[in-house]
């Protein structure tokens, strides 16, 4: 039974309304989402404007101007799109935003990351309703395309003058849920590398031992990659101080080749998804990967579909005034923070690569990690607590005294 009632918290109602907008790939309803977000912004009293990118997609910017707009701003980034669903595996329809008797709200995007969008907005609503005026301007950037790489969204936007004119001081973006009481804060990200290895060899009849076969070479390549995967997995499991963001993950995501059951193919290939932490020397790692390919024999080639070489991180200690302003209100609230490297990839990587500090944070503790999973949900109490947390954090960040070079 859906527990919707007339007494539901208005912020929860707004969250569920946003979840019902089908911004799901491959055809996300960006127009419907932007119309909704502009309406909410107008109700709060935020300025809104749209930036059309060369990709044809639109960035929505919502602004609350500070009393000292010349100071660097606080940018709150959130992506609008969500990943596809397999409805047959969901307990409730994935775009119904069903709330059960325990207050769990089920919908695609509850964790990734429509919750954060509404938490940003509701935090600003609270601050404005209290009559607060903050020195630094706060901008919300609502962006498309993140779930399929951000290449038509944030990757383009950070190169536009409209982004530079936001005068970013610190950017907040998404993080992850935490099953424990600890909140993860991400100060950097792994470098995603996607590589396909092509192996060519002699074809022949399936009844013979073909010596120089493509399959034999591919087997050697796959073995090398998966042996390394196992070493990294064991390194993670044997050291409690390490997180997933500290090791290199390797996954075989695609294998192809062959035309018939009884024909030894002349070409086979395998694609791997690797996520490399910023502590790894990328040039040395590249040489290692390519030596595995060469060792498999002749006629082995490879191509990178993605090879991020940027390893910029944002310092997570009190020498960084932005970290201090982020972490102090969390300490005052009694929250336990754990700085980590993000194990996957978000739009923050483009922000950092453009030269601006960024932290990834989603205030969801005591919550299983369900992004991209069936039955993605977020508990209403956790969602509402996140608004309170963001209210304190945003206020603190937007009140950072003038830094060196600012007036």
The per-residue pLDDT string of the chain (407 residues; one tens digit each, 9 = 90 and over) reads 566 566 899 999 999 999 999 999 999 999 999 999 999 999 999 999 999 999 999 999 999 999 999 999 999 999 999 999 999 999 999 999 999 999 999 999 999 999 999 999 999 999 999 999 999 999 999 999 999 999 999 999 999 999 999 999 999 999 999 999 999 999 999 999 999 999 999 999 999 999 999 999 999 999 999 999 999 999 999 999 999 999 999 999 999 999 999 999 999 999 999 999 999 999 999 999 999 999 999 999 999 998 999 999 999 999 999 999 999 999 999 999 999 999 988 999 999 999 999 999 999 999 999 999 999 999 999 999 999 999 999 999 999 999 998 97
Cα 216 from Cα 222, distance rounded (Å)? 10
**Residues with Cβ within 8 Å of residue 314, at least 6 apart in sequence:** 187, 188, 320, 322, 323, 352, 357, 358, 359
Cα 279 from Cα 187, distance rounded (Å)? 13
pTM given for the model? 0.91
Phi, psi of 166 (to 5 degrees): -65, -20
Per-residue pLDDT of 47-64, as tens digits, reads: 999 999 999 999 999 999
**Residues with Cβ within 8 Å of residue 8, at least 6 apart in sequence:** none
Complete domains list, the chain, with CATH: 10-175+346-397 (3.40.630.10), 191-307 (3.30.70.360)
DSSP per position, 356-402: --EEE-----S----TTSTT-EEEHHHHHHHHHHHHHHHHHHTTPPP
* Annotation says 146 is catalytic: yes
- Options 146, 147, 173, 189, the catalytic residue: 146
DSSP 8-state code for residue 24: B
Helix, strand counts (H, E) of the chain = 10, 17
CB atoms within 10 A of CB 253: 10
Q: Exposed, middle or buried: residue 50 (CB in 10 Å: 0-12, 13-18, 19+)?
A: exposed
Give the rounded distance of the alpha carbon of 334 from its chain centre. Answer: 26
Query: Alpha-carbon Rg of the chain, whole angstroms?
Result: 24
Query: ω into residue 398 within 30 of 0, thus cis?
Result: no
The CA distances from residue 100 to 263, 292, 379, 389, in Å, are: 55, 51, 9, 24
CB 106 within 8 A of CB 97: yes
């Amino acid at each position: 039974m859906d527990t919707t009632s007339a007494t539901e918290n208005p912020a929860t109602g707004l969250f569920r309304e946003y979840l019902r907008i089908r911004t799901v790939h491959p055809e996300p309803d960006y127009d419907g989402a932007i119309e909704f977000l502009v309406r909410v912004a107008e109700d709060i009293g935020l300025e809104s404007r749209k930036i059309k990118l060369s990709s044809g997609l639109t960035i929505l910017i919502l602004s609350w101007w500070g009393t000292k707009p010349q100071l660097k701003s606080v940018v709150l980034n959130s992506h609008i799109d969500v990943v596809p669903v397999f409805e047959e595996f969901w307990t409730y329809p994935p775009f119904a935003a069903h709330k059960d008797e325990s207050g769990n709200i089920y919908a695609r995007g509850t964790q990734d990351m429509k919750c954060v969008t509404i938490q940003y907005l509701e935090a600003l609503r609270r601050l404005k309703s209290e009559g607060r005026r903050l020195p630094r301007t706060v901008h919300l950037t609502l962006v498309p395309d993140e779930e399929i790489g951000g290449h038509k969204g944030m990757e383009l936007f950070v190169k536009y003058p409209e982004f530079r004119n936001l005068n970013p001081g610190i950017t907040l973006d998404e993080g992850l849920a935490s099953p424990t009481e600890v909140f993860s804060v991400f100060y950097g990200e792994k470098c995603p590398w996607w590589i396909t290895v092509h192996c060519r060899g002699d074809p022949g009849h399936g009844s013979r031992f073909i010596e120089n076969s493509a399959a034999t070479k591919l087997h050697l390549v796959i073995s090398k990659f998966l042996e390394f995967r196992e070493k990294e997995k064991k390194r993670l499991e044997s050291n409690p101080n390490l997180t997933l963001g500290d090791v290199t993950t390797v996954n075989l995501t695609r294998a192809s080749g062959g035309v018939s059951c009884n024909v030894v193919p002349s070409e086979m290939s395998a694609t791997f998804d690797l996520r490399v932490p910023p502590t790894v020397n990328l040039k040395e790692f590249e040489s290692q990967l390519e030596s595995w390919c060469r060792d498999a024999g002749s006629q082995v080639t490879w191509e990178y579909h993605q090879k991020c070489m940027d390893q910029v991180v944002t310092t997570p200690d009190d020498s960084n005034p932005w970290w201090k302003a982020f972490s102090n209100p969390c300490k005052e609230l009694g929250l336990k923070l754990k700085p980590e490297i993000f194990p996957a990839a978000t739009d923050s990587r483009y922000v950092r690569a453009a030269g601006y500090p960024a932290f990834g944070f989603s205030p969801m503790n005591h919550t299983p990690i369900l992004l991209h999973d069936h039955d993605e949900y977020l508990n209403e109490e956790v969602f509402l607590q996140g608004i309170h947390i963001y209210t304190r954090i945003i206020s603190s960040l937007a009140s950072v005294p003038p830094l060196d070079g600012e007036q």
